[in-house]
Each structure stands twice: as C-alpha cells, then as structure tokens.
C-alpha cells in the first residue's frame, strides 16, 4: 500500500469516527435531507479556489456578489440570507455541499441563528470540513453591507481542530503517525496562509452560505417552483420523488426553480417576516373550558400542557398562562 492509499484509508476511518460521534454526516444521510441544487446557476471559469483543487469541488465565481442587482436588498432585505428550507444543504458542485440548519429566526428582535458545515469528496474520500454557528442581526435592513457585517460567531471548528480530534488507537505505528502528521501540518499551513490575506476559513464559509442563500432566494423570487414530472407505464404522469428516502423520512418532491433544482417536502417560499417560523417557547399551558355542541350538549375539557414538536429538547420549562377576567 502506497502513501496515498494509506492516507485515504486513514481519512475514511477518521470520518467514520466523526459520523459515529454525531460530528458529521454520511454522504447517504446528507442526500436524504432537503437540498438546493445550484450547480446549473453557478459559474466556475474564474473560480476563487486554488488551481490544484479538483474541478468537482471548486467554489463558484458568485462568491464576489457581482451578480446581485443593486435594488435586490430592498426587495429581499436581510431575510434573503435565510434559506428557503430550514435544514438541508446547498449543492455547490458535483462533490461540494454546504450543510445548514437554521436554529432560530426571531422577527421581533430582528435576527436569526444558523449552523453550517462544509462537505466535499476529495480523491475519492468523503470528508467533513469547516463548521460554524453564527448569528445575523438586522435582517430587516436593506443594506447588504450592514447585515453581512453584523455577524457574531457562536461556535466554530476548522480542519486544524477536526484532524486533531482522533479516536483511541487511531495512530498505532510509525506509518500512521507520519501520514497523520502530514494531514495536520497541511491544515495548519492552509490556515496560516489564509490569515496572511486578512481572512480566515470561518469568514469564508459564512460568506459562502450568505451568497448561496441570497442567490437561491433571488432565483426563487423570479421563478415559480414546478414539480418535476415523469411518465410512467400507461402514460400517467407522476411527480418525481427522491428515491433514497427511508420509510421514516418525509417524501420529498423535486422542483425546478429557474436554473436551480430543489428537493423538499414542502413548496419552497422566499423568506419574509410572514413566511419564516419563529417560535418563542417549546412548552406552554392550555387552559380548560367548556365545549358546546350543535345538539345542545355541553362538556368540559381539562387544562393540559402543549409541546412544540421541533423544540422537545427544551421542554423542561413551561411558560405560565395568565388569564385576565373582565366584569
């Protein structure tokens, strides 16, 4: 086994370790989530990625924001930075994905929080990359420089930290020690070189997320989603569903939206104060009362505790219910 094959084996083993501890997705699991496929809407001729990077993982030219019409921020505001689906991924290239999970959208306080993680397949090996959770303030504004400049990082982890997170007995001989030291040294070198140009990998991944969100919402604003249909036996037309979903996963429909393709359960909508979901509590009390039926029958129903399904992990604190009695 040569050095390249040995490194690929170690990277695969390391990725399995991260997946098992919940710090990364398997490729098959990522493909089961909602997805915004932007490949046909992006351009790579003048990619910002290094020349040695494979064409299948290169980043697009659209990261420079030159594509954006001047009046777009007045139409989308900062809500254009929120993806049209809550959790899923942007497919940026054949082997490049950006996973995201919108944790919170708070309309009254004018901010949202999102977690993003970079994924790519390099030299045949599926790898996780830079991840960051951050908060964007001032999303009701119309100045792109204001709300992209008003970002606060909550947590972050780069390749330097990821490759130093290894399982027990991962390095058990001189060969594995030598190979993994090369992996870590390369990550350290890339970080140091990036910082020489007044930047870092976390700012880069945030910019990638913001650009892809704004571009996808711009395309969605101009085009109506159309379900992809195919003819089956008997010339009946059916909506095309994603084939690799398990029985426990919601059925996702593939929809063409201009030059992009979205796989999701629900029809995507351009984010706005009216369309985004903003829950304040995970649990609340519902009061009891009297129910009157059309036939004259009267019954009572007892007070109960309601649970927000998507926020069950925060279900320890129940919000009180205050009743105001009027004479």
Nearest CA to 200 out of 191, 212, 208 is that of: 191
CB burial of residue 277 (10 Å; 0-12, 13-18, 19+): exposed
State the pLDDT confidence band at 326, using cuts at 50, 70 and 90: very low
Nearest CA to 110 out of 69, 134, 143, 141 is that of: 141
Give me the pLDDT at residue 245, please.
Answer: 41
Task: Output the pTM of the full model.
Answer: 0.80
Contact 10, 176 (CB under 8 A): yes
Distance CA 111, CA 298 (A): 46
Stretch 200-211: mean pLDDT, rounded?
Answer: 95
What single DSSP character describes residue 62? G
Where along the chain do its domains lie?
Answer: 3-264, 279-327
Stretch 52-62: mean pLDDT, rounded?
Answer: 84
Give me the pLDDT at residue 274, please.
Answer: 86
> Measured in whole angstroms, how far is the alpha carbon of residue 251 from the centre of its chain?
19
Mean pLDDT of the chain: 86
Give me the pLDDT at residue 2, please.
Answer: 85
Residues 6 or more apart whose CB falls under 8 angstroms from that of 23 comprise 128, 165
pLDDT at 313 over 70: no
Give me the pLDDT at residue 52, please.
Answer: 57
Give me the pLDDT at residue 306, please.
Answer: 73
243's torsion region: left (phi>0), alpha (psi -120 to 50) or beta?
A: alpha
- From 120-124, 141-145, 244-248, the region with the lowest mean pLDDT: 244-248
Stretch 159-183: mean pLDDT, rounded?
Answer: 94
- From 22-26, 147-151, 166-170, the region with the lowest mean pLDDT: 147-151
Share of the chain above pLDDT 90, in %: 61
Strand partners, 246: none
Give me the pLDDT at residue 208, please.
Answer: 95
Cβ density class 90-119: b for 16+ within 10 Å, e for less: bbbbebbbbbbbbeebbbeebbbbbbbbbb
Distance CA 256, CA 130 (A): 29
């Amino acid at each position: 086994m040569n050095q390249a094959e040995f490194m690929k084996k170690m990277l695969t083993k390391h990725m399995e370790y991260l997946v098992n501890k919940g710090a990364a997705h398997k490729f098959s699991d990522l493909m089961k989530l909602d997805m915004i496929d932007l490949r046909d809407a992006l351009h790579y001729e003048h990619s910002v990625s290094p020349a040695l990077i494979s064409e299948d993982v290169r980043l697009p030219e659209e990261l420079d924001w030159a594509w954006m019409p001047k009046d777009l921020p007045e139409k989308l505001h900062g809500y254009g930075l929120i993806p049209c689906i809550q959790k899923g991924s942007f497919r940026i290239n054949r082997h490049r994905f950006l996973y995201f999970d919108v944790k919170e959208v708070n309309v009254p306080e004018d901010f949202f929080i999102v977690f993003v993680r970079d994924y790519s397949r390099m030299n045949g090996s599926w790898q996780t990359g830079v991840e960051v959770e951050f908060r964007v303030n001032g999303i009701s504004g119309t100045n792109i420089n204001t709300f992209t400049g008003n970002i606060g990082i909550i947590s972050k982890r780069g390749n330097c930290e990821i490759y130093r997170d290894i399982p027990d007995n991962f390095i058990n001989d001189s060969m594995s020690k030598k190979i993994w030291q090369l992996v870590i040294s390369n990550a350290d070198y890339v970080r140091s070189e990036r910082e020489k140009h007044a930047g870092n990998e976390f700012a880069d991944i945030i910019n990638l997320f913001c650009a892809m969100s704004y571009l996808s919402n711009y395309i969605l604003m101009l085009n109506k989603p159309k379900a992809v249909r195919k003819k089956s036996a008997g010339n009946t037309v059916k909506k095309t569903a994603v084939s690799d979903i398990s029985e426990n996963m919601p059925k996702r429909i593939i929809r063409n939206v201009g030059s992009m393709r979205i796989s999701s359960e629900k029809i995507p909508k351009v984010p706005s104060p009216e369309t985004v979901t903003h829950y304040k509590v995970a649990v609340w009390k519902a009061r009891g009362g009297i129910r009157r039926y059309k036939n004259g029958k009267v019954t009572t129903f007892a007070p109960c505790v309601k649970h927000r399904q998507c926020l069950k992990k925060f279900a320890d604190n129940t919000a009180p219910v205050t009743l105001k009695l009027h004479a």
